[in-house]
């Protein structure tokens, strides 16, 4: 059967999206593959279709527990019951149950730390897998911003005779690609690299002398233009601050960050997706797993810490292919804050000394975390490196990491400060060539915002206050 027919049969789609077919063909030929596809371009289909065609289980290694759970939930929503997530959320009994019935699953999601447990490793070795997928593969790069030490261990688990490996990521520089090839021990992989350019997104940029003027502009802009939109900020505090200012102006907005109650976060997502909420003010916690095609605006309240993050966040606009605008706001000194935060989640030298001392005194270094002397993320990274190298060497590794982070910040900053075409610079950053500049390309090529942003229509926020009896009836029985 033709691939298109199989696609129709299993998913009901008549045709592939760019890149999918090429990637699947190579995988079916048994070749290792790296696919750089932007979020929302059907990355997961690249392993789902082969799973049905080869009719063997697929192992998917995924970095974030919540993301993993989302993916399993989504598969279940679409009727695929044979999906499971193997991670530290499972208790001993659940884990045992999953392990015993592993061969019955079609999609096995697993976290890297689970993957290296001997019991799990042995069990997986007994299975005949169709594919091994490494999702968010850029996390393997030590010099990347999303580095996960556990990812380096994936290479150790890969046996000599293994099925093809598929490395997936939204964006990666050549340096990161090199790390992916090397640590995943890929043999002359096929590489599909989708153009990072999104022609329907217009790149705006506004520079302000002070934070106050920036906030003023933001409030004014949001009061006069139409959403739906997402405003990205750097801290929970700033997120809440902007959201309350917008609410006071009578706009429909809400803040979203990891500090909110889990149900609240779901309500906000649902309200946003259904159009009951125009604006979400969020830390970067918002976006993964949220599928909304008609986001018209993305505003960055301050500079992002690297170009890849920026592209990923901007990429949440205009998934429906219609015009969308991304505006980056910058005021003098924003980079200081970003630099400060960048250093914050890496362990500092005092913590390295302390770690050493704990070990010498025969105390488990984990106690540092319990004593509130180090954050969980920092500890995870520190623990990994201290287990590999002596202290002095670790110090120099982290010095290099900080330098690398600073360099990424500077890369972003130079795009902001440059007078050149923003689109061109973004595309070049990922080692690609821009084929064609759209009209109203960016702030420097010239944008007439009026062409893309509709004036805000005063939706009279009708305060429909129902009694609880009526609300209950509507939820359970419908309006009629």
Partner 1 sequence: MIFRYLVLDILKILQKERTISSPYHLLKGKRSGQTIQDVGIFRLHPYFGILPKLSRNKYDEEIQNLVEQHFIHITKKSFQLTEKGLRFLRQHEPLPLNGWQYRGNEHIFFSRLSLIVQSLSHAREEVMSFNPIQKDESVQQWVRSFLIKNHYKSGLLAHNLYDEMLQSLGRAKISEQAKEIVVKRLTGIRMPGFTWEQISRELEMPELDVQIMYVACLHQWLNEILVGKGQYPYLFEMAQDIRVEVPLTESAYHTVLLFRQGYSIEQISRIRKLKKSTIEDHLVELAINDPSFPIERFIKREDIEQVLKAVQHYQSKKLKFLHEALPHLSYFQLRLALVRGETVCN
> Which residues contact partner 1 by CB under 8 A?
69, 73, 76-79, 89, 94, 247, 254-255, 260-264, 266-271, 274, 276, 463, 465, 467-469, 471-478
Which of 1/477 has CB closer to partner 1? Answer: 477
Minimum CB separation of residue 260 from partner 1 in Å reads 7
**Measured between alpha carbons, how far is 451 from 458 in angstroms, rounded to an integer?**
19
Residue nearer to partner 1 on the CB measure, 155 or 289:
289
User: What's the number of CA atoms in the CB half-sphere (13 Å) around residue 113?
Assistant: 11
Q: Which of 339, 327, 304, 312 is nearest to 233 (CA)?
A: 304
Report the partner that residue 445 touches, choosing among Zn ion, partner 1, none (CB closer than 5 to 8 A by kind): Zn ion
C-beta separation of 112 from 87 below 8 A: no
Residue 79 near which of Zn ion, partner 1, none (CB within 5-8 Å, type-dependent): partner 1
Shortest approach of partner 1 to residue 200 CB, angstroms? 27
Q: Is beta strand 131-134 parallel, antiparallel or unpaired with respect to 165-169?
A: parallel
Quick one: 246 or 416, whose CB is closer to Zn ion? 416
What is the DSSP code (8-state) at residue 144?
Answer: S
State the minimum distance, in angstroms, from the CB of residue 77 to partner 1. 3
Closest approach of partner 1 to the CB of residue 75, in Å: 10
Residue 118 or 478: the one with the smaller Cβ distance to partner 1 is 478
CA–CA–CA angle 335, 378, 231 (5° rounding) = 40
Distances in whole angstroms, Cα of residue 109 to Cα of each of 116, 154, 184, 254 = 14, 14, 18, 32
Indicate which of partner 1, Zn ion, none lies near residue 5 (CB less than 5 to 8 Å, by partner kind).
none
H/E run at residue 271: helix 262-273
Minimum CB–partner distance for residue 348 and partner 1 (Å): 26
For Cα atoms 284, 351, 405, give the angle at the middle one, nearest 5 degrees: 40
Euclidean distance between CA atoms 323 and 325, whole angstroms: 7
> How crowded is residue 77: how many other Cβ atoms within 10 Å of its Cβ?
8
Kindly state the smallest distance separating residue 328's Cβ from Zn ion, in Å: 13
Which one of residues 201, 327, 441, 447 is an interface residue with Zn ion (CB under 5 A)? 441
- Least Cβ distance, residue 466 to Zn ion (angstroms): 49
Q: For Zn ion, how many residues bind (rule: CB under 5 A)?
A: 5
| Residue-by-residue DSSP string for 351-387 | HHHHHHHHHHTT--THHHHHTTSS-HHHHHHHHHHHT
Q: Residue 384: name its binding partner from Zn ion, partner 1, none (Cβ under 5 to 8 Å by kind).
A: none
In sequence order, what are the residues at sequence separation of 6 or more whose Cβ sits closer than 8 angstroms to the Cβ of residue 143? 175, 176, 179, 400, 401, 404
Question: 172-231: which residues touch Zn ion (CB under 5 A)?
Answer: none
According to CB under 5 A, which one of 61, 295, 442, 453 is a site residue for Zn ion? 442
Cβ distance to partner 1 smaller for residue 455 or 478: 478
CB of 156 to partner 1, least distance (A): 30
Q: Are 154 and 134 in contact (CB under 8 A)?
A: yes
Q: Which does 423 bind (CB under 5 to 8 A by kind): partner 1, Zn ion, none?
A: Zn ion
Q: Which does 159 bind (CB under 5 to 8 A by kind): partner 1, Zn ion, none?
A: none
Partner touching 461 among partner 1, Zn ion, none, CB below 5 to 8 Å by kind: none
Centroid of chain to Cα 152: 19
Q: Residue 109's beta-bridge partner residues? A: 60, 85
Residues that bind Zn ion (CB under 5 A): 421, 423, 441-442, 445
């Amino acid at each position: 059967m033709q691939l298109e027919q199989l696609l129709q049969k299993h998913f009901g789609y008549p045709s592939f999206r760019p890149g999918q077919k090429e990637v699947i063909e190579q995988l079916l030929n048994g070749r290792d593959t790296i696919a750089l596809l932007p979020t929302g371009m059907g990355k997961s289909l690249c392993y789902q279709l082969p799973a049905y065609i080869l009719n063997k289980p697929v192992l998917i290694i995924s970095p974030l527990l919540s993301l993993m759970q989302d993916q399993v939930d989504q598969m279940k929503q679409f009727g695929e019951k044979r999906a499971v997530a193997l991670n530290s959320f499972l208790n001993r009994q659940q884990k045992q149950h999953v392990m015993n019935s592993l061969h019955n699953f079609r999609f096995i999601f697993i976290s890297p730390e689970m993957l290296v447990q001997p019991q799990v490793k042995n069990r997986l070795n007994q299975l005949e897998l169709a594919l091994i997928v490494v999702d968010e593969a850029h996390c393997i790069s030590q010099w990347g911003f999303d580095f996960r030490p556990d990812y380096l261990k994936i290479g150790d688990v890969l046996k000599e005779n293994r099925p093809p490996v598929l490395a997936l990521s939204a964006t990666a520089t050549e340096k990161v690609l090199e790390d992916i090839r090397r640590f995943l021990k890929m043999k002359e992989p096929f590489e599909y690299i989708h153009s990072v350019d999104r022609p329907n997104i217009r790149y705006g940029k506004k520079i302000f002398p002070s934070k106050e003027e920036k906030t003023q502009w933001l409030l004014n802009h949001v009061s006069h233009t139409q959403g739906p939109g997402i405003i990205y900020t750097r801290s929970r505090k700033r997120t809440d601050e902007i959201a309350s200012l917008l609410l006071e102006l009578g706009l429909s907005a809400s803040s979203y960050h990891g500090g909110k109650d889990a149900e609240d976060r779901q309500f906000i997502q649902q309200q946003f997706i259904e159009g009951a909420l125009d604006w979400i003010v969020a830390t970067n916690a918002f976006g993964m797993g949220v599928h909304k095609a008609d986001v018209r605006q993305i505003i960055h309240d301050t500079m992002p810490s690297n170009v890849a993050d920026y592209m990923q966040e901007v990429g949440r606009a205009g998934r429906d292919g219609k015009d969308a605008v991304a505006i980056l706001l910058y005021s003098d000194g924003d980079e200081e804050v970003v630099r400060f935060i960048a250093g914050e989640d890496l362990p500092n030298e005092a913590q390295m000394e302390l770690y050493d001392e704990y070990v010498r005194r025969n105390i488990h270094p984990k106690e540092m975390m319990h004593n509130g002397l180090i954050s969980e993320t920092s500890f995870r990274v520190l623990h990994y490196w201290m287990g590999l190298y002596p202290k002095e060497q670790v110090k120099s590794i982290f010095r290099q990491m900080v330098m690398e982070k600073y360099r990424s910040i500077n890369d972003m900053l130079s795009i902001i400060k440059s007078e050149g075409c923003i689109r061109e610079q973004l595309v070049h950053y990922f080692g690609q060539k821009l084929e064609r500049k759209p009209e109203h390309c960016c702030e420097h090529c010239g944008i007439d915002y009026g062409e893309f942003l509709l004036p805000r229509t005063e939706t009279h926020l009708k305060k429909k206050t129902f009694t609880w009896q009526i609300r209950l009836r509507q939820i359970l029985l419908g309006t009629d």
